[in-house]
Amino acid sequence: MKVKIDPSQLHGSIKAIASKSQAHRTLICAAFADGPTDIYCRELSLDIEATAGCLKAMGSNISYDRDEGVFHVEPYDCEAAKTGADAEGFITIDVGESGSTLRFLLPIVCALGLKTHIIMHGRLPERPLSPLWEELEAHGAILSKNADGTIDVSGALCGSEFTIAADISSQFISGLLFAIPLIKNKKTDAVLTLTGNIESGNYILMTIKALELFGVKVDRNKDKLRISKDAGFVSAGTAEVEGDWSNGAFWIAASAMTKGELTVTGLDPGSPQGDRAAAELKERILAGGDGQVTHIDARDVPDLVPVLSVLAAAVNGETVFEHAERLRIKESDRIKTTVELLKNLGADADETADGIRVRGTGRLRGGDVDSHNDHRIAMSAAVASIICENEVTVSGAEAVRKSYPDFWKDFEALGGRITEL
């Protein structure tokens, strides 16, 4: 899908969609609770649907009422999982292009001892699973990667002492935290030791809060996370997924760039979501200029870099995004594709050793952008059109379905002018 965007000023009010990150976590906890749970989640996306679909294939009865915007989740039943198994006893789950779904559920199927065939799409088969892979194997899992990029899982996790590097992906840590309460016959409390610098620590906090909502307490002492050997998931009855700061950031940046009046609602300033930093970082970028260089540490907020780079182009000043190396292994190489987006629209931007440098001029020329099947690149291009002198065309505009299927509809409702080509 290719769209043409004519420059326009956005105005009005937009409510942030449901948090994809929180939806993943809440669905997983509910699927292994001791009773049914209703999860209010107004919006869906391909990633959320991937997690729900995989949990259903794993033996949890999950349905979604679109009129009410609520998931009805019945707990995991190992016998139900077996009904979908092939002749060799393997169930199949399709995680789509969702890194969260893969990295959260891989340790879980290992803990449950479910023989599982995992299908992935897009760049996901290329994205790293080490050192999580090795830690799972060290505790009894049998993992193999097939020639077609799929993964086969058998064996079952055992033991109570786990160690994982914390500077690769917080999703590895979250996956183990979800799995540990499901390991059978633990004789002692389980301890997960984190090594190295912790990346995206707020996402770990989100996981801990989700676990606690469903009755699993995590005690933290510096680099050690402890879970009781008797811990188990308890239904929360009902839960509500809060507004998403990651996707709200596109409207936050747009509100700073448009001459119209654009407000974003439905975001909790006290949320554990790390991307709530979008509001503060917006102000820091806007305060730059006059020969100053604004340095943004993206270590804990890598997903904000594409759209904040667009905002930096709208400011007369230099902004440097640092410690963003993990952007190389997202849906696209986001350092490369963000710089390409900016340059194609006329910005002065380049790659650095660990991020992006943008020398903003306040205006962009316009031009052609390839999303590279990356939802955040497609949405950032739309926001960039606000300060463009000429039209912007976006190839692969359908990539927004991964996290925000109604993005183009909402963009138009706020005054954006879009033509599908």
* Partners of 420 in the β-ladder: 3
Q: Look up residue 317 and give its amino acid.
A: G
The token pair at 377 is: 């690149």
Q: How far is 324 from 134, CA to CA, in rounded Å?
A: 25
Strand, helix or coil at 176?
helix
Question: What's the distance, Cα to Cα, between the start and end of the chain in Å?
Answer: 8
Cα distance between residue 403 and residue 104, in whole Å: 17
Strand partners, 16: none
Q: List, in sequence order, every residue forming a beta bridge with 143; answer none if it has no partner.
A: 153
Tokens 């009129």 correspond to 67
**Can 148 be counted among the known catalytic residues?**
no
Which residue shows structure tokens 């996956």?
A: 175
Choosing from 303, 370, 374, 410, which is the catalytic residue? 303
Q: Rounded distance, CA 184 to CA 21, Å?
A: 27
Question: Which residues on adjacent β-strands are paired with residue 264?
Answer: 14
Residues 112, 80 contacting (CB under 8 angstroms): no
* Token reading at 232: 């188990």
User: How far is residue 184's CA from residue 210's CA, in Å, rounded to a whole number?
Assistant: 21
256 contacts 288 by C-beta, under 8 angstroms:
no
- Known catalytic residues are 303
